[in-house]
Chains A and B, each alone.
Chain A
Amino acid sequence: MIAALRRHLGIYGAIAAVVPKEYLAYNLWFWAEFVVQILAMIIYVYFWRAVYSGVDRLGGLTLDQTLNYILLARILAPAIESRLIFHFGFLIGQGQVAVELTRPLDLQARYYVQELTGLGVFLLLKLPLLAIAIVFFGLRLPADPAVWLAFLASLALGHAALFCFDWMFACLAFYTTETWGLSMVRVGVAQFFSGALVPLAMLPGWLQQAAAALPFAQAMAVPLGLLSGVTPVSQAPGFWLVQLAWLAGLGLAARLVFAVAVRKVTVQGG
């Protein structure tokens, strides 16, 4: 058992180690992305200041609370920005899936490791952005280690659940070949229903219910609520249970969907 665990850690650890190298392969892309994110942060801050002009509270949140939440949402954005669905379309469309299926790896585990490491890399790359937000826009971070632990556990659970959700839709590529349209819809829906654009508390009741019925908020609004102080840390265990339920349900469904979909694989281009 321990030997098997060590074996898997060695294999998937090596896969994880490659991720930062791939992200940093293009210098220009790295710097362009950095500049774009600073600009986006400035736009978001001024947008929300304009929204609050003449208003003290929206959805029960003050301007300071909302700005704190939105600034953190900008930094945490990679948690909902998976490109898995698009990537699967590429794998099937280009026939590269043949190569991926001849590697002695559990494909789902391999992609989960890549996505999780990718999230870690992106969050690290956002540290300068975090510093800018603290210095210039008054972002406040919690001092209590318990809050950070609650946040990290919630982020890990929510991200894993969302990965399984994306995995199921990515598997549609085995049937449709093309997933560009679906991946575009996914980006928009995830931004809105995760609470990355607008705090979910500000949405009308029926939209809040729709957001609760989707897993996007589990990877953004729920961990962010803990980190920004909107949700008291004492409520964290309740949120973790809900996230675990999402993860168990979506995890099982994702395994089943892949087991069926992989039988349908065709390799484009001979």
Chain B
Amino acid sequence: MPVIQVEDLRKVFYIPRKDPGVAGAVRALFRPRFEPKVAVDGITFHVEPGEMVGYIGVNGAGKSTTIKMLTGVLQPSGGVARVLGRDPHRQRVANAREIGVVFGQRTQLWWDLAFIESLNLVSKIYEVPPRRYRELLDRFAETLELGELLHVPIRNMSLGQKMRAELAATLIHEPRVVYLDEPTIGLDLIVKEHIRDFIKEQNRTKGTTVILTTHDLGDIEELCQRVIIIDAGRLIYDGPLSTIKARFGKYREITFETPARADGLHLPPGAEVTEQEARKFTLRFDRTLTTASQVAAAVMDQIDVLDFSLAEPDLAAIIKQIYNGALREAAAPEASA
């Protein structure tokens, strides 16, 4: 049975519309006008226990709005949302007991209190048995390197420290479903790595279901086997990350290091030079038309090569293609066939 069931989910906001200028502002005082803005437009998907799903889209696509409906914060305008069999909005408190949420740009911790005080309070609110709490606290302190932070007030923490603290507070009651809304926003690579490892460990050891919204595709590649892509409130892709990569990652790149500048190379069909420097150049090739070995052999037949490296398809580039309509273009010929 799915942990999360979303059927034809919709959310419409009514945004106040004011004409420009003082006259517009005064008119709005007496005759306010509101325009409907469809943030989520009939989305359907299911998530099974233990899945880690990347929920991605450009700014304003409706990611955070969906998460807020699943966490019970927002009431859907239409459709059905069920988390562990409950209606998250109507059964907000019961739902909140079983889930954990990190809103990357907000804090759930008490700003003026030492972190340990916040954590103690969170454990009481979620009724974590004291013994279990101490075990988890020790484990989290070790894996997230929280030891020195326990007595620091949240307001005195750096962004990276705060995010580690947030994660610990979110997972201290061992929620069955965790929503991570941009958990690595603004963090450096080392902290990101820490956080990703910690999430992976929680998923592996406890079977925690994770829904991750992010603009950092490194998070998706590291954590998720499945991605859901939404655009303008509509679901445009739901499936394995590998399928997306295979379908849209038809271009690969090989970078060659050479003793001298290489110009005028004859390349196999589907291959082209994309970057050229004094002793280095990069080729992009369509792997449906040629292979890496054919490209490398063609280059090495013509010039001396000191070294070369093959890059995997770049997810950022693939997602950019999809946002730019590659899915619609791919679907159109199939539909007309």
List residues of B whose CB falls within 8 A of some A CB.
13, 59, 64, 68, 71-75, 92-94, 96-97, 99, 101, 103, 105-108, 110, 112-113, 117, 120-121, 124-127, 153
Q: Compute how far the CA of A95 lies from the CA of B153 in the bound complex, rounded to whole angstroms.
A: 22
- Would you give the shortest CB distance from B75 to chain A, in whole angstroms? 5
Given A22-B110, A103-B125, A267-B74: A98 in contact with B68 (beta carbons within 8 A): yes
Q: Compute how far the CA of A99 lies from the CA of B109 in the bound complex, rounded to whole angstroms.
A: 9
Q: Is the CB of B105 within 8 A of A270?
A: yes
Specify the chain B residue showing the minimal Cβ separation from A24: B112
**Cβ-Cβ contact count across A and B, 8 Å cutoff:** 80
Q: Is the CB of A104 within 8 A of B97?
A: yes
Q: Compute how far the CA of A21 lies from the CA of B117 in the bound complex, rounded to whole angstroms.
A: 9
A105 neighbours in B (Cβ, 8 Å): 93, 96, 125
Q: Is the CB of A14 within 8 A of B93?
A: no
Q: Compute how far the CA of A103 lies from the CA of B190 in the bound complex, rounded to whole angstroms.
A: 30
Interface size range of chain A in the complex: 20 to 34
B13 neighbours in A (Cβ, 8 Å): 266
Which residue of A95, A106, A263 has the most chain B CB atoms within 10 A of its CB atom?
Answer: A95
By Cβ-Cβ distance, the 9 closest A-B pairs, closest first, are A14-B124, A25-B112, A104-B96, A104-B97, A101-B73, A263-B75, A102-B101, A99-B108, A98-B73
- In the complex, per-residue mask of A86-97: 1 if CB is within 8 Å of any chain B CB, else 0: 000000001111
A18 neighbours in B (Cβ, 8 Å): 110, 113, 117, 121
| Interface CB pairs A-B, < 8 A, 7 | A11-B124, A15-B125, A101-B92, A102-B73, A104-B125, A105-B125, A262-B75
B94 neighbours in A (Cβ, 8 Å): 104
Choice from B72, B107, B120, B153 contacting A102 with Cβ under 8 Å: B72
Choice from A11, A94, A267, A270 contacting B73 with Cβ under 8 Å: A267
- Would you give the shortest CB distance from B191 to chain A, in whole angstroms? 21
Specify the chain B residue showing the minimal Cβ separation from A7: B127
A54 at interface, CB cutoff 8 A: no
Given A99-B103, A102-B72, A102-B96: A22 in contact with B112 (beta carbons within 8 A): yes
- In the complex, per-residue mask of A17-56: 1 if CB is within 8 Å of any chain B CB, else 0: 0100110011000000000000000000000000000000
